[in-house]
Amino acid sequence: MEKNPGNTSKISARINELTNDLKNQQIETFRWLHQNPELALQEFKSSRFILKHLQDLSNIEIVHPISKTGIKAILRGNKPGPTVALRADIDALPVREETGLSYASKVKTNYQGTETYVSHACGHDANTAAALGVAAVLNQIKDELYGTVVFIFQPAEEGVPPGEDGGAALMVKEGVLKNPDVDAIFSFHANSMYYPGTVIIGDGITHASMDNIIIKIKGVQAHGSQPWKAKDPIIAGSAIINAIQTIISRDVDLQKGAAVITAGYFHGGVKVNIIPDEAEIGLTVRSLDDDNHELLMRRVKEVAELEAQVHGCYAEVIYGQHYPINRNNPDLYQLIIQGVKEFAGTGNLVKYLPKTTSEDFSYFSQQVPGLYIQYGSAPIDKPLSESKPNHHPEFMVDEAAIKFVTRLECQLIINALKKLHMSLIKGENIT
């Protein structure tokens, strides 16, 4: 194995040259993805579009489909070394876009039986456009790569329909991190609360665990004028929603980390003068501590069942999709952080603090050392105070962010491969 990786400044200049050449193509890629958003496990057009771009790169090996609509692409460098992966999420959201952009999404589709608008209100189109740019750039400088790069284009990051499998969990199950064995994995995500040029990065916990829980309440139907003949699931459901909030305020040790229970929907009944025989509550439950997560899973069930019983009803608690806590690997962070500082400038780095949002990137980072990083994407022609957050109808990505993060990803991957290569020579491993 070689012990003296090549001239970094020369490689950086080449990356800058190639990303300048790719700028217009990347914007076209971003705008096409933006105008053609697809929901989880419906990303068929997106997959074909990504495949076409990858097939135009002669040195790329492609595995498709994986996790139903996902893609794995392998670029082997000309020098021996480790393997790092770059994950980009490709799905969109059931959100109506209200940005007024000339290339705004007008797509409609069916979401769980209801017609809905669809948009990339989370920036996955930018994440994917950047990753495709990285593949194109590194393909042209593979002589400088100490090892292998695996590109993972992941569907269903925003969650799968009830009863379905997909996303990162299914990709791991189907072996996306094997053949070749991945030594480290990175993911970059747009953040509209910062301008392009900003990097949001940290070690340790970044995202909370997430659990979807459905509570089905069974009662006894009766005429609305005679409630004493009913066992009212709506009253029972209202009591459950109020009672479960005391789990957060009285049961959870919040010194260990934040926790949240939110009722996203409460359905019951069809007519004002009929007490229905059933109702349903949909919950999202978040925790930044594993012990608190276990407590929440147990106490939601206990409280729901007991509150239903108090009102003469029966509650069935159904545990749905789960994302684990995501932890950025501290050794991997230390390995790459100096290079990130040199690339972006220390003043453009923001510490990534733990959030109660969730990310199924955690399924990857449970298997191999991982880093989840965000990049600023707020429109540069507006005050930050006017920039809308992810999942908002007016969420926008400034196209200047795409070239910046493409360069950052290229530089980080090259540096990570070199440093991991040197660590392996020394017999050192990150864990």
**Residues that are catalytic:** 91, 157
Integer Cα distance of 360 and 170 in angstroms: 11
Strand partners, 107: none
User: How would you label 206-222 residue by residue, b for 16+ Cβ within 10 Å and e otherwise?
Assistant: bbbbbbbbebbbebeeb
**How many beta carbons lie within 10 A of that of residue 39, not counting itself?**
23
Integer Cα distance of 416 and 424 in angstroms: 12
User: How would you label 131-160 residue by residue, b for 16+ Cβ within 10 Å and e otherwise?
Assistant: bbbbbbbbbbbeebbbbbbbbbbbbbbbbb
Please state whether 109 falls in left (phi above 0), alpha (psi between -120 and 50) or beta.
Answer: beta
290 Cβ partners below 8 Å, 6+ apart?
209, 325
Question: Do 324 and 209 contact (CB within 8 A), yes or no?
Answer: yes
Q: Which of 351, 373, 347 is nearest to 361 (CA)?
A: 373
Question: Do 296 and 258 contact (CB within 8 A), yes or no?
Answer: no
Angle, CA of 275, 276 and 282, to the nearest 5° = 125
Q: Backbone phi, then psi, for 174, in 5-degree steps?
A: -90, 5
Integer Cα distance of 416 and 428 in angstroms: 14
Angle, CA of 103, 89 and 86, to the nearest 5° = 120
Sheet holding 79-89, edge to edge: 60-66, 70-76, 146-154, 79-89, 184-191, 370-376, 199-201, 349-351
